């Protein structure tokens, strides 16, 4: 493992440098210093995690566009639930840092709340 933090950036449109337009100066450094793999869909996210395991940091977008049949695609909320289940199944000891760069305030709250509750549950172990 190198010193570069390896991250997964889940977003259907943006890349990490796009965040400079709306994320605070304090938060943006983390985005600029991380070596990101950009993943565009929930399906690709699941495939990546199952092949590569859990990265040290994950940033979720909530709204991941639409499927080919115009239905809403699985969201970042689905992805954070997947990660939590994956960690429990694998008994993965090292938890990733979870960020959410979504501009959907409700979606962002849901993702971060889910993750924080998951961590509390694990800590009680």
* pTM (predicted TM-score): 0.90
6-124 CATH, one of 3.30.1490, 2.60.120, 3.30.70, 3.40.50: 3.40.50
Average pLDDT over residues 66-95: 91
Q: What mean pLDDT is predicted for residues 98-103?
A: 95
Residue 60 pLDDT: 97
- Which pLDDT score, from 0 to 100, does residue 77 have? 98
User: Which value, in Å, is the radius of gyration of the alpha carbons in the chain?
Assistant: 14
Say how far apart CA 65 and CA 46 lie, in whole Å.
Answer: 16
Q: Are 48 and 37 a contacting pair, CB within 8 Å? A: yes
Q: Could you tell me whether strands 57-60 and 6-10 are parallel, antiparallel, or unpaired per DSSP bridges?
A: parallel
How many angstroms separate the most distant Cα atoms in the chain?
42
- Give residue 24's pLDDT: 86
């Amino acid at each position: 493992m190198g010193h570069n933090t390896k991250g997964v950036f889940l977003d259907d449109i943006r890349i990490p440098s796009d965040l400079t337009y709306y994320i605070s100066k304090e938060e943006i450094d983390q985005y600029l210093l991380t070596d990101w793999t950009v993943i565009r869909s929930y399906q690709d996210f699941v495939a990546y995690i199952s092949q590569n395991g859990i990265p040290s940091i994950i940033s979720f977008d909530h709204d991941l566009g639409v499927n080919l049949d115009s239905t809403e695609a699985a969201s970042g909320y689905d992805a954070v639930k997947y990660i939590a289940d994956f960690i429990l199944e694998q008994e993965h000891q090292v938890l990733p840092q979870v960020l959410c760069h979504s501009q959907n305030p409700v979606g962002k709250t849901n993702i971060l709340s889910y993750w924080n509750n998951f961590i509390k549950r694990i800590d009680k172990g």
